[in-house]
Amino acid sequence: MTTRIELYDTTLRDGAQAEGFSLSAQDMLRVARRLDELGMTYIEGGWPGSNPRDREFFARAGELKLARSRLVAFGSTHHKDQRPETDGNLTELLRTPVEVVALVGKSSSRHVETQLGVPLTRNLEIIEGSVAYLAGQGRTVFFDAEHFFDGAALDREYSLAVLEAAARGGAGALVLCDTNGGNLPQTIAGLVGEVCARWPQVTVGIHCHNDAELAVACSLAAVAAGARQVQGTMNGFGERCGNANLCSIIPTLQFKMGCDCLEPERMRLLTSASRFVSELANLSPSRYAPYVGLSAFSHKGGLHISAVEKDPGLYEHLSPEEVGNQRRLMVSDLSGRAVILGKARQWGLIIEPEDPMVRELLAILKDRERLGYQYEGAEASFELMMNQALGREQRWFELIGFRVTDFKASEGEEPQAEATVRVKVGEEEAHTAATGDGPVHALDRAIRKALTRFFPRLVEMRLVDYKVRVLSGADGTASHVRVLIESSDGAEVWGTVGVSFDVIEASWQALGDSIRYKLFKDARG
């Protein structure tokens, strides 16, 4: 029988501890929806007892309407001087609208004595009491045995006694954590096998960090030894060197080890989900990442390209389409054809593979990518670009000009932004001004104020999110910033992009595309 693996994503909690990684509560909801679409078994939504953002996320969890995944709230065992029923952290967990909670506890005698400062026996009481209390309140409890492998190296029997305490309390899973990320796969496998044999009635999970560049290897070794739940993050985001990378683990388990992780149609969403999370976190995706990286199936050497055009398997360990990626032949105009033809079909645009327009669209796409445009989180801009190239664009309005100013009256006062905009719709011209919280907000209000009398349904539209990324100049780009805007009209959410030396100009491009897409989709019906 095929081994079924529970996929446990902790991007929203452990991944958020990565340096430079930042998500709002709204971003967290968007990521959770994408992970649900991908097919994660569990999505850890954060630690509600630790910060207001995570509490807001769980308060809004009802908006998610997850179809495939179960939401998990994270917390720790109760305070050493409290009882479970009076502990604020456990109370916060019970306030969340979830059925599954993950509870972290110390499984290393060194940490118990040094960090907690309690007798070893007291730690066992805390763990069993915390798990039993939450289980008694109807929650499924996953116990995260923090520092399990390092703890077992110091005092094996005590680390196993910690698991026994959690099992007595009613834990539904015992998750073994390589918290410092320094253990070898063979060490992981040996202990996982021992735990699986000792507690066959309980799911055993693995949670690895990547400090020795072995988190993926250790996670795979744990599954081979009997673990059936794998915890990790998208793209390996996490504290220090990161967590185990689910984008590498999932396809390796499924395609190399014969495990059952995702349905084939879900697996084909992996690359887009990987890039979506990076984009929302405002971090550049690693182009060299296995499976999902832009270069993962790229071929530059003449010998390689010649061989791959005859038989891709000569230089590829699996088909890129299986993980939603694409083959790139660096010196061939075939690169990108598949994505253009695929999007054309998706949007009802009739283009034959040998149509010269495909080559023209590809040239436009390559040129814009060279300038710094990135369409992974801005498909609305990509759709508008394709329609323009195909001569299907409708000129809803024409920008005549705009001016944006910031004015600060005195120290201690917030600056005020004002934007003036002149646009032309048909033969009519509109000239308006608006203030806002910052120059982009003012520009957004001014342009929509100018256009609403011509297009009343623009009142339905609002700017949901705004991100700026400073570009490094890689790949010959002459651009300085890329702006990604997310908009919504209550029925649909769409993303647009702008690139320029000037952040206001880049913002205008993204705003203009956002408004054009609203008008375009309303006209399409």
- Tens-place pLDDT, residues 373-427: 877 678 889 889 888 888 887 889 999 999 999 887 777 788 889 999 999 999 9
Q: State the Cα–Cα distance between residues 265 and 284, nearest whole angstrom.
A: 26
Q: Which residues pair with 100 in a beta bridge?
A: 72, 140
Encode pLDDT of 79-119 as tens digits.
999 999 999 999 999 999 999 999 999 999 999 999 999 99
**Percentage, residues of the chain above pLDDT 70:** 95
Q: Give the confidence band of 302 by pLDDT, cuts at 50, 70, 90.
A: low
Lowest mean pLDDT among 34-38, 68-72, 296-300, 516-520: 296-300
End-to-end Cα, the chain, rounded Å? 48
Q: Give the confidence band of 348 by pLDDT, cuts at 50, 70, 90.
A: confident
Domain ranges of the chain: 6-280
Alpha-carbon distances of 52 from 29, 92, 277, 375, 409, rounded to whole Å: 15, 11, 21, 32, 33
Q: What angle (nearest 5°) sits at the alpha carbon of residue 344, between those of residues 342 and 350?
A: 125
What pLDDT, on a 0 to 100 scale, did the predictor assign at position 334? 44
Q: Which two tokens stand for residue 143?
A: 């116990």
What pLDDT, on a 0 to 100 scale, did the predictor assign at position 491? 84
Helix axes 503-524, 379-389, angle to 10 degrees: 70
Count of alpha carbons within 13 angstroms of residue 166, beta-carbon side: 32
Encode pLDDT of 224-282 as tens digits.
999 999 999 999 999 999 999 999 999 999 999 999 999 999 999 999 999 999 988 98
6-280 CATH choice from 3.90.550.10, 3.20.20.70, 3.30.450.20, 1.20.1080.10 = 3.20.20.70
Q: State the Cα–Cα distance between residues 154 and 114, nearest whole angstrom.
A: 14
Q: State the Cα–Cα distance between residues 118 and 131, nearest whole angstrom.
A: 18
Look-up: residue for tokens 């006209």? 523
Q: State the Cα–Cα distance between residues 453 and 426, nearest whole angstrom.
A: 13
